[in-house]
Amino acid sequence: MVIVPLTLLPIINPLSGAPVFLATAGRDAHVIKRLARQVAINCWYVLVLSMLVGTYMLELFGISLPIVRIGGGLLVAATGWRMLNSQDAARDEVRQAVADKQAPVMSEVDIVKASFFPITFPLTTGPGTIAAAIALGAKLPSQPRLYVVGAFVAVLGAGITALTIYLVYRHSGALMKRLGDIGTLVMMRLVAFILLCIGIEILWAGWVELNQLPR
């Protein structure tokens, strides 16, 4: 049960997504709480489905795990590149969200939509996290009884991971307040660069694994 959050949380790193989350939620306490809860629920679904169904989906479509890593790495790198080259309007949006001003009004439908893209995917549970979750699911035993026990443990582990994500995002306002306006903007750029590097690393790992497969 502990191996799931220990494996996935360093990849997810919800602290790096806190500025983007706060920029989306604004300063309204109800919106922050509701959005954080919805993101955590989304992440739990993504992790559970990846661990329990991901391997079978890859086999169904004839996709190897290295290909998933290459595709995921490209997507993560592209996201980081877009964040690095964002226009001044994006900076103003972050600045307005971090500053203690009027928060944007979000309906329940808006919260559900914003909770999945881009916060849940690809920011929080991106392709790298999905690939790692699929790899964990591939280690589940094939015997029916042991599989049920392993699946139950995996679900609990995903729950712990989702709870951690919720707590970090729920209190992201306090974190951003400590950083301040300038600190938040710097952190956004740093996160964007880290995302770009992570994407290239995931892509490279997939490329190395792909070249090691028998031909």
Rounded to an integer, the average pLDDT of 65-73 is: 78
Amino acid at 196: L
Asked whether the whole model's pTM tops 0.85, one would answer: no
What is the mean predicted confidence (pLDDT) over 78-94?
Answer: 61
What crossing angle do the helices spanning 144-170 and 14-25 adopt, rounded to 10°?
60
Q: What percent of the chain has pLDDT over 90?
A: 24
**What's the pLDDT score for residue 94?**
44
Residue 91's pLDDT is 45
Residue 124: inside a domain? yes
Q: Does residue 142 lie within any of the structural domains? A: yes
Closest CA to 164 of 31, 47, 26: 47
- For residue 109 the two structure tokens come to 């439908």
pLDDT digits (tens, 9 = 90+) for 96-152: 444 444 445 677 777 888 889 878 987 899 877 888 888 888 888 889 899 999 999
* Confidence (pLDDT) at 146: 92
| Structural domain includes residue 180 | yes
pLDDT digits (tens, 9 = 90+) for 170-208: 998 887 777 776 776 777 777 778 778 877 887 888 899
- Residue 209, CA distances (Å) to 4, 70, 72, 146 in order: 23, 10, 14, 29
Q: Does residue 213 fall inside a structural domain?
A: no
Question: Span 36-42, mean pLDDT?
Answer: 96
- Whole-number pLDDT of residue 172: 87
Question: What's residue 45's pLDDT?
Answer: 97
Q: Across the chain, what does the average pLDDT equal?
A: 81
The predicted pLDDT at position 102 comes to 43
Would you state the pLDDT for residue 93? 46
- Residue 97 is predicted with a pLDDT of 45
**Taking phi first (over 0 means left), then psi (-120 to 50 degrees means alpha), and beta for anything else, what does residue 99 get?**
beta
More confident residue, 104 or 85: 85
**Per the structure, how many domains does the chain have?**
1
In a domain, 214, yes or no: no
Q: Is residue 215 part of a domain?
A: no
Per-residue confidence band for 88, with pLDDT thresholds at 50, 70 and 90: very low
Question: Does a structural domain hold residue 107?
Answer: yes
Q: Which pLDDT value is given to residue 159?
A: 96
User: Which domain, by its residues, includes 114?
Assistant: 3-208
More confident: 14 or 198: 14
Residue 190's CB: how many other CB atoms inside 10 A? 12
